[in-house]
Amino acid sequence: MAAMERKYILLVGDGMGDYPLHELGGKTPLEVARTPHMDWLLCNGRTGRVRTIPESMEPGSDVANMSLLGYDPMKYHTGRAPLEAASMGIRLAEDEIAFRCNLVTLLRDAEGVMRMGDYSAGHISTQEAQRLVLSLQDAVKGTPLKLYPGVSYRHLLVWKGGRGDLSTTPPHDIPGEPVALHCEVYRKEPVLASFVERASEILADHPVNRERVAAGKKPASHVWLWGQGKAPSLPTLEERFGLRGAMISAVDLLKGLGVYAGLKPIEVPGATGYLDTNYEGKVAAAIASLECSQFVYVHIEAPDEASHEGSIPKKIQAIEDFDAKVVGPVLERARMFSRVSILTLMDHFTPICKRTHVKDPVPFLLLEELHGAAKTCPPSTKFCEKAADGSSCDLKDGVELFHRFIGTSS
């Protein structure tokens, strides 16, 4: 009986962790935020720290969330683009490499040096981008490349028989910087070089760009290829642990991870990946999915977005919303199931002062059984980055945490 099986609920507030900020009197946004439900989990459950990013890898959400799903990224991570491909319903053949293909704005400065003006071409609209990508199909005709339109500036290029071992640069990592060195990598690969070259010619004289410039907006002057890899080969959670379940996230990357882990992607209307997301809809979908499966992963992107924007008030708001609109209602509504384990945490820190991700280990909140947990917390209880300071539970990776969560030995 599905209703009698233990249910596993994993709640992720993307990028919630931070460093102390002098604007907050030396406290972090999580420390200042009102989070009564996570505080309750802290005094009723167990805490510790877990390393979600292996030392030698970049602190991306793709790597961190792969860890949280119990997969070793060192073994299974092949790139970000193949995960996004999966969320777009693109199945990669064994000899195909997927690249993320951004529409970007490159600008030539007074000295004639070409620089990264904007990794998102001014967050170009999907409608405009689709017109551009349609014209760019000319640049892949008769080549081993296929171009797939996505949302806004985020598109996908698939290279049959291509090389995945190139060293490419995420364009958001080099704002304002000269691009020549980063472009070298394409020049060495004639297939990519001629695509990038032909694309810039098509974009240079495109009506969409003329309209954008006339309206004072940034043109999508170039394509930028990065995040490449072949399809990862992950055993599903059902194959590994007999767990069937669902992935609830507004973010393509997470949906793609879910596809490879064998989780059912659930589309929640109004899920935006931002402060205005449909929290109630996500909680309702999570509870509903558990009626016929055992595992659900609920991912909330807003704290990370607020951190990239560098907004302290928005980050505090996003954390308070995660606690009040996700953690609280889940704790309440999951009581309808007879055996429930809940793991609540962040995938990585996104410190406001850096406006990007870092590799620090993250604190987790593990409640092994919801029923019977009823301790009233002393008022001093506060879940924050320091919550695990007194704990001796330092886990080396997400694999270990996942095994603890679902009660198997690794």
The residues that touch Zn ion, with contacts defined as CB under 5 A, are 14, 61, 304, 347
CB of 15 to Zn ion, least distance (A): 5
Smallest distance, Zn ion to C-beta of residue 61, A: 3
SS3 93: coil
Q: How many CB atoms lie within 10 A of CB 331?
A: 22
Spatial distance between the Cα atoms of 276 and 34, rounded to a whole number of angstroms: 19
Q: Using CB atoms, what's the residue nearest to Zn ion?
A: 61
Distance CA 279, CA 225 (A): 33
Q: How far is CA 394 from the centre of its chain?
A: 24
Toward Zn ion, which CB reaches closer, 320 or 347? 347
Q: Which is nearer to Zn ion, 171 or 303 (CB)?
A: 303
- Of 128 and 397, CB closest to Zn ion: 397
Residue number with CB closer to Zn ion (37 or 80)? 80
Q: Helix crossing, 61-68 with 398-406: angle to 10°? A: 30
Question: What's the closest the beta carbon of residue 225 comes to Zn ion, in angstroms?
Answer: 22
The DSSP code sequence of 206-224 is -HHHHHHHHTTPPP--EEE
Q: What is the DSSP string of 198-265?
A: HHHHHHHT-HHHHHHHHTTPPP--EEEEEEEEPPP----HHHHHS--EEEE-S-HHHHHHHHHTTPEE
Q: Which is nearer to Zn ion, 21 or 254 (CB)?
A: 254
Nearer Cβ to Zn ion (14/385): 14
Helix, strand or coil, per DSSP, at residue 48: strand
The CB-of-363 to Zn ion minimum distance in angstroms stands at: 15
Smallest gap from Cβ 371 to Zn ion, in A, equals: 31
Query: Which residues, 6+ apart, have CB-to-CB distance to 197 below 8 Å?
Result: none
Q: Shortest gap between Cβ of 105 and Zn ion (angstroms)?
A: 25
* Beta carbons of 15 and 345 less than 8 angstroms apart: no
Whichever of 132 and 253 has its CB closer to Zn ion, that residue is 253
Report in angstroms how near the CB of residue 62 gets to Zn ion at its nearest. Answer: 8
Neighbours of 198 (CB within 10 A): 17
